[in-house]
Structure 1
Amino acid sequence: MATPIKSERLELRLTSDQKRDIEQAAAISGRSVTDFSVSLLVEESGEVIRQERELKVSKQAWDAFNQILDEPAKPLSGLADLLRRPSVFSD
């Protein structure tokens, strides 16, 4: 698989202490500051996006949803007839 071309830049303003700590952590990890920083930023951004896209409901709503799922299925008038009809879609 071909390596994607890295053509974009991201500039950051840091305090001296932040820069020193990042450089030290990258060195301890045996990685460049860019590799160290990008991997952590991508991982964290993926987590933020995942959390935003998750379905979030209150405990009360979740309990009500589960209660409905636990109820026996109700017959729907005409459903059996509908399922016996030929499909309107062609293969």
Structure 2
Amino acid sequence: MSDKHKPGRTEDKRSKPERLEARLTREQKELLQWAADLEGRTVTDFVVSHAQEAAVKTIEEHTLIKLSREDSIAFIDSLINPPALQPDAPLARAISRYKESMGLA
């Protein structure tokens, strides 16, 4: 991921060459204005900052794998103590092909 697309990256406030437009109902605009007023921000600043937070959260949800404590323990245990594989099992063959292709065998 390039620096331009890294979550949380901020640019100089004076340098904002990109533009985003949205069409809203009057009720949506009033709601956003009210929320922005409560935070002492402009509607643009309010919308952009909250959209950025939502984008980062969405990206994290789609790129991170979160395991429960029990699942984490089971995963680590399977890495430390892998099950024995039959030499002709599909997974064993795939591992062999991978090792050969990477020059590890």
* TM-score > 0.5, shorter chain as reference: yes
Q: Highest Rg: 1 or 2?
A: 1
SS at match of 2:44: helix
Matched residue, 1:26: 36
Output the CA distance in 2 between the equivalents of 1:31 and 1:19.
Answer: 14
Matched residue, 1:10: 20
TM-score (norm 1): 0.61
Sequence identity (%) = 40
TM-score (norm 2): 0.53
Q: Which runs of 5+ in 2 are unaligned?
A: 1-10, 83-105
Could you tell me which amino acid in structure 2 is paired with residue 46 of structure 1? V
Q: How many residues align?
A: 68
Tell me: higher relative CO, structure 1 or 2? Use CA pairs within 8 A at least 6 residues apart. 2
Could you tell me which amino acid in structure 2 is paired with residue 45 of structure 1? A
Output the CA distance in 1 between the equivalents of 2:35 and 2:65.
Answer: 35
Q: Which runs of 5+ in 1 are unaligned?
A: 73-91
**What's the C-alpha RMSD, in Å, of the aligned pairs?**
2.7
Indicate which of 65, 71, 77 corresponds to 2:75: 65
Matched residue, 1:44: 54
Output the CA distance in 2 between the equivalents of 1:10 and 1:51.
Answer: 24
Output the CA distance in 2 between the equivalents of 1:13 and 1:50.
Answer: 28
